[in-house]
Amino acid sequence: MSSPTTLPRRIHVTEVGLRDGLQNEPVVLTTEQKLSLARALMAAGVREFEVTSFVSPRAVPALADAADVVAALRAETTGLHLSALVPNVRGAERALQAGVDSVVLFVSASESHNAKNVNRRVVESLEGVEQITRLLEGTGVALRGAIATSFGCPFEGNVPVESVTEIARHFADLGATHLSLGDTTGMATPPLVTERVTRLRQAAPDLPLTLHFHNTRGIGLANVMQGLALGVDRYESSIGGLGGCPFAPGASGNIATEDLAYLLEEMGLDTGLDLEGLIGAAGVAGDLMGRPLLGQVSKAGARLALSACDTVPTARGGA
C-alpha cells in the first residue's frame, strides 16, 4: 500500500457542493435555495466552502448569482472560509469585490481537457494564473491552486505525473497557499494517489495538498483511505454527492460529504462535522434537486441507527 504513516488527527473537509455540485446538475437553484442548503451544511459544522464560481453567467447560468451568494453568507455568518473558482481576470475582479477569502485558480494537467474546459492551451492558462495573482497582491485574499485531470484525462487517458508537478511548481512560485488535485472524471486509483502525492511533496514541499476525488468508478473512498495512509489531511467533497459526471450519464460525481465524514469519524479522526446534520443536509439537497442523490449513509442512517426487530421479515435464513 504505502509506507506506514501516522494518521493525521484533524481532517479538513471543504464542501464543494454549491460549486462543483451545482455546476453539473441540470436543476438551477435560486439564491435563496442555495442559502437554505448552505445553512443546513453550516448547522452540520461545515465551515469551509468552495461556494461558487465567478464564471461567465452565459456559460454557467446556474452560478450567475455568485456575488449574491457570497454576500448573503458573509452577512449572516462569521467564521467561514469562502473560496470561489475564478477562470479569468474578470472573474477574479468580481470575486474580490464580492469578498471571498480565497480564489481557486485551476489548470488542467492535460491539453485536451484544458482546451475543452476553457478553450486555452495549458501554458495560456498558466499565464492567466500569473495575471490574476498580481490582482491579489495586497488584498489579503489567498490563492489556491487546483489541477484538473490530475489522475487522468477522459480524452487523453493517462496523464504524466510531470504534467502535474510542473503546474504545481508554478502555483508554488506564485505563492499559492494550497493545492487541490482534482480527480475530474474519477480516474484516480490508490497507486496513482501514492505516486502523485509523493512526487508533489518533492516538487512543492511547502504546498499543502488537498485531494478532490470523484466516485465515478466507485472507489472514491478507497482513494481517501490511500490519502490518509500517506498523511494527507485535506479533502473536498459534495453533500449527497451533488454533481454528476458530464462525461458519463448516470455516473457519480464527487464523493458524498456525509459518506466521507462517516468514514473519517469511524476512523476516529476529527472533522468538526456532525453526521446527523450532514444526513439532514443531504436530505435538503435531494429535495432541491428533486431526485435521490448518490450518497449511501443518508439512506441507511448512522452506524448505530438501530432497527426494530418487528419491522423486518422473519426467518429469511440469510447470512
Smallest gap, in angstroms, from Cβ of residue 162 to a second copy?
19
Q: Where do the DSSP E strands lie in 56-208?
A: 81-85, 102-108, 142-148, 178-182
Is 245 one of the catalytic residues? yes
- Measured from the CB atom, the residue of 32 and 292 that comes closer to a second copy is 292
Touching a second copy, residues 122-161 (CB under 8 A): 146, 148, 152, 154-158
Specify whether the CB–CB gap between 156 and 195 falls below 8 A. no
- Selected binder of a second copy within 103, 176, 224, 289 (CB under 8 A): 224
Contacting residues for 205 by C-beta, under 8 A, at least 6 apart: none
Query: Quick check: 3 binds a second copy (CB under 8 A)?
Result: yes
In the three-class reduction of DSSP (H, G, I as helix; E, B as strand; rest coil), residue 155 is classed as: coil
Specify whether the CB–CB gap between 15 and 239 falls below 8 A. yes
Smallest gap, in angstroms, from Cβ of residue 70 to a second copy?
17
Reading the block at residue 160, the C-alpha cell is: 504524466
Smallest gap, in angstroms, from Cβ of residue 212 to a second copy?
8
Query: Quick check: 55 binds a second copy (CB under 8 A)?
Result: yes
Query: Quick check: 182 binds a second copy (CB under 8 A)?
Result: yes
Select from 29-37, 92-100, 101-109, 164-172 the region that touches a second copy (CB under 8 A): 101-109
Query: Quick check: 21 binds a second copy (CB under 8 A)?
Result: no
Is the CA virtual torsion 106, 219, 243, 266 positive or negative? negative
Smallest gap, in angstroms, from Cβ of residue 266 to a second copy?
4
Query: Quick check: 268 binds a second copy (CB under 8 A)?
Result: yes
Q: Is 193 buried (19+), middle (13-18) or exposed (0-12) by CB count in 10 A?
A: buried
Query: Quick check: 26 binds a second copy (CB under 8 A)?
Result: no
Smallest gap, in angstroms, from Cβ of residue 33 to a second copy?
20
DSSP 239: G
Q: Which of 11, 95, 228, 245 is catalytic?
A: 245
14: left (phi over 0), alpha (psi -120 to 50) or beta: beta
Residues 216 and 145: their CA atoms lie apart, in Å, by: 23
- Selected binder of a second copy within 228, 239, 273, 281 (CB under 8 A): 228
